Structure 1
């Protein structure tokens, strides 16, 4: 009689329980090792930055697979930044937009001369640039060109901090201190940035969070870039939007983008938690850009919403956050043709692309796709173990 048989007979029923226990331990160990290897692979891929540098995008912080709700702190500070609209042109824009919001010059230090910004950024002629570009941008509002149609309040990022948490995976925690501004001020600083970029100014080559803080007057936007993952007639799919000819910046007309690209604003302030809610901003994008009404939002089967990466888009000097939305249901039967408040202004159409590496790579190679959309796509798909190659500039 073998030793194993003897032990089995000796233990009797306990042997069966022992086998079940050992099997459970090995199964858990297998799952742990598999998940550990998956996380390490994804982490390694997320750190590969060569393609991202070609997009001129800098990753500020990434979680693997995503940020916990408690790991993102968005605080509204008492800081404000406003550039006054030229008074002699105000009556003309009021004809187009009676609700056009007007503010007086106001810098972070509470003064109206913007000298604090010139000193902080070490841009010696910044005050002169502000005066020059407020008239350039005002002319766009008068003619309602380049997406300059309405002026409403928005939020910028005064300070961004990322640190490792104490959990076993050392996922980061991020804190964003936000300031109040408006769309006119945002567009003035974008216009100034374009001139500085042409001068080859250091602002266009920011590589660290510390450098970014120096130029916080220019981070007048926090944008949510979200892709929807759901079934379509083609099977498991990703939903792209094509931007409208009425969208901001003429060079982006009819470009393909993420499903939603929504700026965070004061309407996303959650009074219950006393924070600016990224989720509320995302839901606002679902409603205004895709037409998902408040009532429909409660019935739409959203399985999961995840925020994954914070980044700096250096072509426009805007801070963004990537997000994924998992929806149960079929694209053609749920969200494809909903009427939306801002659809005419923002979105030309929605299309589903099958969630297969080869098909996705062909699509982004053959179509005109936003840089931040390709970044968002690459980063989100990596969490799903789909590692796409982005097209080269000379492809």
Structure 2
């Protein structure tokens, strides 16, 4: 290649009588190559150094937030990715464990009357008592949790919650299948760079069981039980009978280019299943993981939960046609209700706010979950001012502040 270039130079010199020497040409080439290499080296070093300090700054900002979240929001951060590798960083397996608290047989007649029909299987799936050991006494849970009167508490609160379903109060309108977390590990690493990994083993349960254990937790928390002071992963796994849900907390980011972004927030409907969160602000979408959230390999997939949530709550049937990316970041325990969750950012560059509003009008669960949709600019001061001026779900505030901390604002 070099010889051809030199032949071309000699041809120009001969044909057009251009006066320059071969040595001068070589010098010019060498100087150019040195300058080009130096510039590339500088650009590479500058990018590496910039990314290093930016990443270090983000990690420092996130660590600083953690104590605030523990005290102000009663949220325990468990693990963090930047983001997690969707294929190798998040491993979700469905175990052979299940946990069901059966609806009281003496109240079944009243339950059917409340639905005004004999066959209620579409609205209320019925299960019999069944614990992790496949027994029906729940004595295994009393032993594993160290709560000796847990079977008695289950009997007490199943009747309390059953009454809520009969009267359609406290967000109890239906009973469907859910997934709980049997065991979680967030301190594993994978690959040469030792990137963080989340490992979760799930168990099958239902919404009625979920509400029963939430009701029990509320009583234990009021009595000052140690479960309310869980501070480590090991302690959390001890009380796995209470982790009957896993929520995917998604913030939609509309990227309009040139650094202009908007965050999409929602306001909870007065019909929302969680009574305490009604009329509070939420992130774009919050969805609980279910047995239907499987990929083409028949494995539980958090991304499938995101896709379903955006379809059911915001009317977006295919999020990917808008050049969207889905990234998962922070695993946490919300201790007011003892609920596990993960933060998620869904960034799209081909969806306008107006089109989003149009689609959301026809969403399946819009009236049940969302009363309003709004946007705020990606300005940290504006975000913090909005948070301080309004009432948020704890998980929503945590998600918003964690994701904003990662943005280059």
Task: Give the TM-score normalised by structure 1.
Answer: 0.90
Of residues 348, 356, 364, the one that matches 2:387 is: 364
> Higher mean Cα deviation, 48-57 or 105-114?
48-57
Q: Distance in 2 between matches of 1:82 and 1:227?
A: 32
Partner of 1:79: 97
Partner of 1:26: 42
Q: Distance in 2 between matches of 1:59 and 1:103?
A: 34
Partner of 2:51: 35
- Report if the CA contact (8 A) 1:331-1:352 is conserved: no
**What's the CA shift string for 1:17-75, capped at 9, x where partnerless?**
12111210111011001001111111112222221112100111101244443110000
Of residues 365, 377, 381, the one that matches 1:354 is: 377
Please give the secondary structure, in 2, of the residue aligned with 1:350.
strand
Where do residues 49-198 of structure 1 align in structure 2 (5 Å cutoff)?
Answer: 49-53=66-70, 54-94=72-112, 95-96=114-115, 97-99=120-122, 100-167=124-191, 170-198=194-222
Please give the secondary structure, in 1, of the residue aligned with 2:357.
coil
Q: CA 1:91/1:302 → structure 2, altered by over 3 Å: closer, same or farther?
A: farther
Task: Give the TM-score normalised by structure 2.
Answer: 0.87
> Post-superposition shift, 1:229?
0.5
- Report if the CA contact (8 A) 2:266-2:283 is conserved: yes
- Report if the CA contact (8 A) 2:89-2:190 is conserved: no
Q: Distance in 2 between matches of 1:349 and 1:302?
A: 25
Of residues 277, 283, 288, the one that matches 1:263 is: 288
Partner of 1:389: none
Task: Flag structure 2 segments of 5+ consecutive residues without an equivalent.
Answer: 1-22
Q: CA 1:207/1:188 → structure 2, altered by over 3 Å: closer, same or farther?
A: same
Of residues 230, 236, 240, the one that matches 1:216 is: 240
Q: Distance in 1 between matches of 2:58 and 2:309?
A: 28
Partner of 1:273: 297
Of residues 31, 42, 49, the one that matches 1:15 is: 31
**Alignment pair present for 1:45 and 2:61:** yes
Please give the secondary structure, in 2, of the residue aligned with 1:289.
helix
Task: Flag structure 1 segments of 5+ consecutive residues without an equivalent.
Answer: 1-6, 387-395
Q: Distance in 1 between matches of 2:24 and 2:139?
A: 84
Q: CA 1:71/1:8 → structure 2, altered by over 3 Å: closer, same or farther?
A: farther
Please give the secondary structure, in 2, of the residue aligned with 1:70.
coil
> Higher mean Cα deviation, 179-188 or 352-361?
352-361
Q: Distance in 2 between matches of 1:199 and 1:8?
A: 88
Of residues 272, 287, 294, the one that matches 1:247 is: 272
Q: CA 1:41/1:169 → structure 2, altered by over 3 Å: closer, same or farther?
A: farther
Larger radius of gyration: 2
The count of corresponding residues between Structure 1 and Structure 2 is: 374
Q: Distance in 2 between matches of 1:50 and 1:302?
A: 36
Partner of 1:288: 312
Q: Distance in 2 between matches of 1:158 and 1:149?
A: 26
> Post-superposition shift, 1:354?
1.6
- Report if the CA contact (8 A) 1:146-1:247 is conserved: no
Partner of 1:3: none
> Post-superposition shift, 1:231?
5.3
Q: Distance in 2 between matches of 1:224 and 1:260?
A: 8
Q: Distance in 2 between matches of 1:306 and 1:205?
A: 30
**Alignment pair present for 1:335 and 2:356:** yes
